[in-house]
Amino acid sequence: MSEDDVKLYRGLREVYIDRTNSSFINGKEGKLYYRGYNIDDLAVNCSFEEVIYLIMKGALPTLKQLDQFVSELRSNMTIPEPVLDIIKTIKNAHPMDVLRTAISALSAFDDDVNDNSAEATLRKGTRLTAQAPTIVTAHARIRDGLEPITPDPELSLAANFLYMLFGEKPDPRDVALIDKDFVLHAEHGLNASSFGARVAASTQADLHCAVTTGVAVLKGPSHGGAAESVMTMSQEIGSVDNAEKYVKDTLSSGGRIMGFGHRVYKAVDPRSLHLQDDLKELGERKGEPKWYSILQSVVEVMKPYSRKGINQNVDFFSGAMYFLLNIPEDLFISIFAIGRVPGWTAQVLEQFENNILLRPRLKYVGDLDREFIKIEDR
């Protein structure tokens, strides 16, 4: 085939590069499955720890298996002092840059770092899943001039995240919200960050390299940054009365309504429906129901676009939820990353199991056989 005959698939839209058992997105019907289980069942009935086990090991745990796994997670939540020193050194960086750097640094303290067997990769994935909340919260406190808080081995990952961030035992209702949020973000097919992780794994790089790549890719606003943008939009709207005009003015000027649209979903993102109900309850409990009302008004104004497959995604309600929990806005993407570590691990495990180097090509459209002129004659 000549270069002239090459067909381009820009953005790799609808290109399938391999088979997977980890998750399935039915974009037409708005359904998401982890290991064959509907996200609606998992979000309501499972803890994040159960879902981590499911995604990384392929089956829901028994009570005994879950107890053992929770013990393993909680025994790995602390991070080495030298990594804390690195966080202190780069405390003024963006939280995602700090998370990326700290995960990379953790490889130097992991005895399994160069072992890409399934068993070692699972051990590393478990450790990184446990350590990610500690990294994010330690940095948040250090940059505010506070001491990091040691994880409490009696608390879940979600509870520890809030405890280590704010320094007090969290309200169980708030813990339930963060726990569900982690569940909803845990795995999502071959999105940009998971593709990046798989590309790294395809070179036989270790899990720390792959997860570092995933975090780096997730930082991009076209992938992980919409929750923060939605909250900014909500603040600009200010009240329900302004929602319709804001949306119409934004769209007429060629702008985008943040938190709407998805590369795969042509129906409503099922994850957003769970956060929608939770945000309403949280807003009423915190005495700030207006954020839910503003977002609901935006949904109503955007309904005509649903016929074009433009509906709210998981980021649409999550930003307001984080805001009402007093979580700093630049940590919103980091919460996404914490939840996604199990998914990246599962993607890497699948890549290692049936590996092939991911090496697509680019169609060259530049000049050829240009005359070379020595520097003194240019």
Alpha-carbon 263 to chain mean position: 15
First to last CA, the chain: 37
In the chain, which ranges are E strands? Answer: 23-26, 31-34, 37-38
Ranges of beta strands (E only) in 125-226 are none
- Tell me which of 110, 179, 181, 315 is the catalytic residue: 315
**Cα dihedral 68→134→97→218 (10° resolution):** 40
Q: How far apart are CA 316 and CA 321, in angstroms?
A: 10
Backbone angles phi, psi at 367, to 5 degrees: -75, 160
Distance (Å, rounded) from C-alpha 94 to C-alpha 111? 29
Q: Is 315 a catalytic residue?
A: yes
**Phi, psi torsion values for 243, nearest 5 degrees:** -60, -50
DSSP H or E stretch at residue 377: none
Q: Identify whether the C-beta of residue 323 lies closer than 8 Å to the C-beta of residue 291.
A: yes
Is residue 223 annotated as a catalytic residue, yes or no? no
Catalytic residue among 139, 188, 208, 262: 262
Q: Which amino acid is at 155?
A: L
Q: Which residues fall within 8 angstroms of residue 46, CB to CB, at 6 or more apart?
A: 54, 60, 183
Backbone angles phi, psi at 148, to 5 degrees: -65, 150
3-state helix, strand, coil in the chain (%, to 5): 60, 5, 35
Question: What's the half-sphere exposure (Cβ side, CA atoms, 13 Å) at 130?
Answer: 24
Task: Indicate which residues carry an active-site annotation.
Answer: 262, 315
